[in-house]
Amino acid sequence: MTKSLSTVSEKSGLPPGALIHVGDVLETVTRISVIDYSTEHFEEQTIQSIDEILKYKDSNTVTWVIIEGLTNVDVVERIGTMFDIHQLVLEDIMNTHQRPKFEEYDDYLYIVLKCLSTENDQFAVTYEQISLLVLKNFVFVFKEKKDDLFHPIQKRIRSKRDRLRKFGTDYLTYTILDIIVDQNFIVIDSLDDAINSVEDTLLASEPTKDTLNTIQRLKREVANIRKHVSPVRELIAGMLCSESELIDEKIHIYLKDVSDHAIRIIESIESYRDILIGLLDIYISIVGNKMNEIMKVLTIFASIFIPLTFLAGIYGMNFEYMPELKWKWAYPALWSVFITISVVLLIYFKRKKWL
């Protein structure tokens, strides 16, 4: 079954635990990859049916199953049946609008978080939900799309000398979390470049409406990044406090390293948010100063023409006995007064440094 809903609200009215994909369809075809390994053993293949992993169920090797594409409900449902996964957990896997979290059950752990990436020069962040089911000898990874995110881990597993081959599912889980969290550093670097570009534009030339739009767009992106990254610290803290036998105490030191990375990313996001608020204030100040300069010029012209208008108003009155109207040089004299007043006011404004 491949039916999909766009938003969580569309699922209203369905019974709890109803399995249906919620979110954007990033991959229409579900692809299942299996890597089975131990210190001396390695096997890698792409399978067509989830039932093909049954042969690894009773082995002592570590089996890593990667499901790319979540529209095939039958695959997720079959995994739940084979390994006795709670229906609500399966529902969360299919719902790609989850908040990053860690849940502990008797025989397995459930972890969900977002993988962030940027794809163009305009700094537009894309989000992919990645869910993990961690069992004694199995790690299931549910991804929304096919990409090369885990290629470095797969390359390490192929090497017989790598420490991944010597540890269990907890270390593999740490490695997966580490590479997902470290992807955020790439996003942070791209964000830094985007903010520096806006800052240079803002300070080097007069800002335009496009500059304001860019600042506002970056603020929204930073808010979204913060929403998806901040809970990771809580997620790792939950794993460190867990008493589950599936997380060996020796792995805690590695999880603390992931936690440190998450904290660094959160702090960077907070600082960039403050920078963007500052850039918005600078933009408003520059626009305000520009408007003040315009108003100053207009005010100066108005100040010059006010006395001239006053004089013109006097001589526009219809009185018969106005002696200046009979003078031969009255008109040139009035223009001399106009010019003198304008020049005196300009000199006065200049000395007061209003010009």
Q: Which amino acid is residue 150, in one-letter code?
A: F
**Model's pTM, two decimal places?**
0.81
The Cα–Cα gap between 34 and 47 comes to 7
The Cα–Cα gap between 167 and 249 comes to 12
**pLDDT tens digits, one per residue of 269-327:** 999 999 999 988 888 888 887 778 778 777 888 888 888 888 787 777 666 667 777 77
**pLDDT tens digits, one per residue of 136-192:** 999 999 999 998 999 999 999 998 888 888 899 999 999 999 999 999 999 999 999
Which among 42, 80, 24 is positioned nearest to 162, based on CA atoms? 42
Domains of the chain, first to last? 4-286 (3.30.460.20), 293-351 (1.20.58.340)
Q: Which two tokens stand for residue 125?
A: 């962040």
